[in-house]
Structure 1
Amino acid sequence: MLHRSGSGGPAVVFLPGAGLVGLDYLNMHNRVAELTTTVLYDRAGTGWSEAAVLPRTAAEVTDELLELLRAADVPGPYLLVGHSLGAAYARHLAQRFPGEVAGLLLLDPFHEDLHARVPQEVRDRLKELESQERPSPTEEQLRFGRSQMAPLFASWPETVRDQLIEHHLRVAWRAGLRESENVYDEVAEELRRAPALPDLPLIVITALGRDATQDQLWSERVLREIHCTTRALHADLASSVPRGEQRILDDAGHGFLHEDRPDAVLQAIADLLHRVEQ
């Protein structure tokens, strides 16, 4: 699935986080379309794209994305906007194909050293969650889920809103879990083995605000430790290139920071477009 709007270049390409799909970024996509060409897409095995066996390697995902953009006649180099796991893929594409990337905006990105540096109780809890069975939600759970998600997606067009909510409740969360199964080992090792990031404009946005999913998983103390570690790793990532910058958002959560603070995300995209032109 690929949805393209706007005109001009460089084209902005959104890479969703695990458990999210291209249409989750539709509002931001529509605003960016006033500035340049912008592209939403779903990776194979997610959203409305064709099925694929998950998880996949970062190399498979990035090869596929470049092939898709060329087939859709979207010329590079691209300004990649990667969120969470999508940010890891965006980084890997820039590491492998530096000539294809004009700039990077990483939204609360996955970092390959995060798993090793968080408290042991976090690693233990994640391992426990991986081993648990995940039955399909009951009708009562689906009704509750709809009531919780309706306010989040209230500003989406009616033509996609209900389908998007149902997709999240029935399909997307399960695909997100499968996509994430190789993140801490295989994808992390791919990032470590790849060449260093090229000298390109880079903004890393770190989200330190409340997030409903994280609040359910971790205590306040553990969340503070995770945020402290994430902030430091993101700072290191931003400083790894001469034109790198970290921006902190204390009022945005991890999952939908582009909706919690759309102004900050749009400003970062505009700033990168300006820097690319210089």
Structure 2
Amino acid sequence: MRTSRHRSLRAGLAAAAAFAALAVLSGIAYEQIGRYRAARDFPAPGKMVDIGGRRIQLDCRGAGSPTVVFEAGLSVDGSLSWTAVQPKIAAHTRACAYSRAGVMWSDPSNAPPGAAQAARDLRTALANAGERGPFVLVGQSLGGLYSLGFIRDFGAEVAGLVLVDPSHPEQVKRVASFMTESRSMRSRIGVALAPFGVLRAAAPVLLPQAPHRSAREMQAIRAFAPKSLRTQLAESDATDASLAEAKGFRDLGERPLVVLTAMAPYTAAELRGMKITPEQGLQVQALWKHMHEEIAAWSSRGRHLLVADAGHDIQLDRPQVVVDAVLSVVEAVRADGR
């Protein structure tokens, strides 16, 4: 009797192990097929630029000087972050959007993420693609800090700057009394399981249709989500280092600068995510506004504009506001004879 039970137990364990192995292999196959279809169905806009053994996706349009260069925030959409803005700028001057290493079409990098690495990649991609300054940088959120890093390292090539609801080097310290930063364990588990197709299967839920995006854009973003989400998590983990790196650089000279601040009240979902009350949300927004006033003062020609009806992604909620700000800086650079 005991032997029969042992045999049944062994048979059950063997069947479970075989099922698990089959599930893992099926997941790996699903992910590999998904990667193939992503590359086939959603080719990179612009071109893939070799920067020394790996490639960066760079999409440049239009003609004229200065060249506007867009830097996305902490997101998974790369150059697609600017689809509502770039074409309108390209009607007036050269305009380039790109995807950082490991996001969308761009190859991942073995180097730690951060402002310095992003600046080197972008500078090399622009140079290798034949794009020359003067540049007007447009950075959103964390991309604002990355733009400051580019100016610190390659400032002679940058003639103007637009910062779209940008990060501030001291933002974590200043809001610490209201909220603590948290990084979801579920995100880490999802990224760890990405090679087995888990993130790809969950992409429609994790990245629902956005109101300001076309269905095809969302399909492309989801198709590359397993790779992009891994990079987003790595950049998020490196945020403290990126903020610290930017603390010592606050001199933008006489460059024309526009800082845009999103002032729409936080949604209920945003308040839950930040674990704060509506009253605390108003206090955080006041701090955010004050930090942006400081950033605008880093240039003797800085302007600070409030966007009352836009959330953090102003380039999606109110793209024309961003377009107007960028074109005002382009005209100022031209008036300077750059």
1:29-78 Cα shifts (integer Å, max 9, x gaps): 11111010010111112221011247423212112211111111111010
SS at match of 1:44: coil
- Paired with 2:131 and 2:199, the residues of 1 have a C-alpha distance of 42
Is 1:81 the equivalent of 2:81?
Answer: no
- Paired with 1:150 and 1:199, the residues of 2 have a C-alpha distance of 38
Cross-structure match for 2:311: 253
Contact 1:118 1:226 in 2 (8 A): yes
Cross-structure match for 1:223: 281
Contact 2:74 2:235 in 1 (8 A): yes
- Paired with 2:137 and 2:200, the residues of 1 have a C-alpha distance of 38
Is 1:149 the equivalent of 2:149?
Answer: no
Contact 1:55 1:180 in 2 (8 A): no
- Paired with 1:45 and 1:249, the residues of 2 have a C-alpha distance of 31
Is 1:43 the equivalent of 2:93?
Answer: no
Cross-structure match for 1:129: 183
Which stretch shows the higher mean deviation, 46-55 or 58-67?
46-55
- Paired with 1:130 and 1:145, the residues of 2 have a C-alpha distance of 13
**Structure possessing the higher radius of gyration over alpha carbons:** 2
Is 1:214 the equivalent of 2:274?
Answer: no
Cα distance 1:264–1:40, how it changes in 2: closer, same or farther (>3 A)? same
1:68-124 Cα shifts (integer Å, max 9, x gaps): 11111111010000011111011121123221101000011111111111043512x
SS at match of 2:183: helix
Is 1:233 the equivalent of 2:287?
Answer: no
Number of residue pairs matched by the alignment: 268
Is 1:59 the equivalent of 2:116?
Answer: yes
Contact 1:96 1:195 in 2 (8 A): no
Query: Following TM superposition, by how much is the alpha carbon of 1:251 offset from its aligned partner in structure 2, in angstroms?
Result: 0.9
CA RMSD of aligned residues (A): 2.4
Is 1:197 the equivalent of 2:248?
Answer: no
Contact 1:234 1:246 in 2 (8 A): yes
The one-letter code sitting in structure 2 at the alignment partner of 1:120 is S
Is 1:68 the equivalent of 2:122?
Answer: no
Cross-structure match for 2:58: 2
SS at match of 1:276: helix
The one-letter code sitting in structure 1 at the alignment partner of 2:228 is A
Cross-structure match for 1:16: 72
Which stretch shows the higher mean deviation, 46-55 or 260-269?
46-55
Is 1:263 the equivalent of 2:320?
Answer: yes
SS at match of 2:305: strand
Alignment of 1:82-121 (within 5 A): 82-121=139-178
The one-letter code sitting in structure 2 at the alignment partner of 1:245 is R
- Paired with 1:232 and 1:151, the residues of 2 have a C-alpha distance of 29
Residue segments in structure 2 that go unaligned for 5+ positions in a row: 1-56, 191-197
Contact 2:72 2:78 in 1 (8 A): yes
The one-letter code sitting in structure 2 at the alignment partner of 1:177 is L
Query: Following TM superposition, by how much is the alpha carbon of 1:131 offset from its aligned partner in structure 2, in angstroms?
Result: 5.6
SS at match of 1:27: coil
The one-letter code sitting in structure 1 at the alignment partner of 2:236 is S
The one-letter code sitting in structure 2 at the alignment partner of 1:134 is R
- Paired with 1:233 and 1:150, the residues of 2 have a C-alpha distance of 28
Residue segments in structure 1 that go unaligned for 5+ positions in a row: none
Cα distance 1:138–1:195, how it changes in 2: closer, same or farther (>3 A)? closer
- Paired with 1:182 and 1:225, the residues of 2 have a C-alpha distance of 26
